[in-house]
Amino acid sequence: MPESPYTVSDVMTHTVVAVGSEAPFKEIVELLDQWKVSAVPVLAGEGRVVGVVSEADLLPKEEFRGGSDIGGDLAERVKAAALTAGELMTTPAVTVHADASLAEAARIMARRHVKRLPVVDGVGMLQGVVSRSDLLKVFLRSDAEIADEIRTQVMTCMPITTGLDVSVTEGVVTLSGSMPERGLVPVVARAVRAVEGVVDVQLDLSHR
């Protein structure tokens, strides 16, 4: 059965604000405010991503204002004294490839606790940025579009589903009809749930 065609390249932002390693602290803050983003990639050479500066990297400057000795680890104190992107950035950058699935990008964000990922090619050159909000774009698909994909991409590849009807309301898929074996129900439900934009799957099935 073919996989859903959506990849990071389908939802990523191609126009990206980035900085060089010598970019000063205040310029980075101004860019974050101007572009309404929470982080910027740091580039070297012709556009290779070498790190990322996020709001979290910038905050120690305020946290330790006045040389406070209360709390904070050494890394935070070092960043509090940093003046340029090269000193502030988190490296190596957490990135994703354009052909990665949306699920893979979501897992990386969750595991690494980041809101945005630079999208790079095979040699680390910046191609775009994907954010949490970008990954949610698939839930803007219409019910009709989701239903059509389920019928043409899922049902036609699974003969056991010939007795099923598909309806979609607000992204919730209802499968009704009959199936030859109860044990096959989880297989079908899993395949339908994998379609981008599906919020949930409800079953109204009988078994022949």
pLDDT digits (tens, 9 = 90+) for 27-81: 999 999 999 999 999 999 989 999 999 999 999 988 887 665 555 577 788 888 9
Task: Read off the pLDDT of residues 109-143 as tens digits, 9 standing for 90 and up.
Answer: 999 999 999 999 999 999 999 999 999 999 999 99
φ, ψ (nearest 5 deg) of residue 60: -55, -25
Nearest to 152 by CA among 193, 122, 118, 192: 192
Burial annotation 82-98 (CB, 10 A radius, 16+ → b, else e) = bebbbebbbeebbbbbb
CA distances for 26 relative to 42, 50, 79, 192, angstroms: 15, 20, 14, 48
Specify the pTM.
0.79
Q: How far apart are CA 38 and CA 11, in angstroms?
A: 18
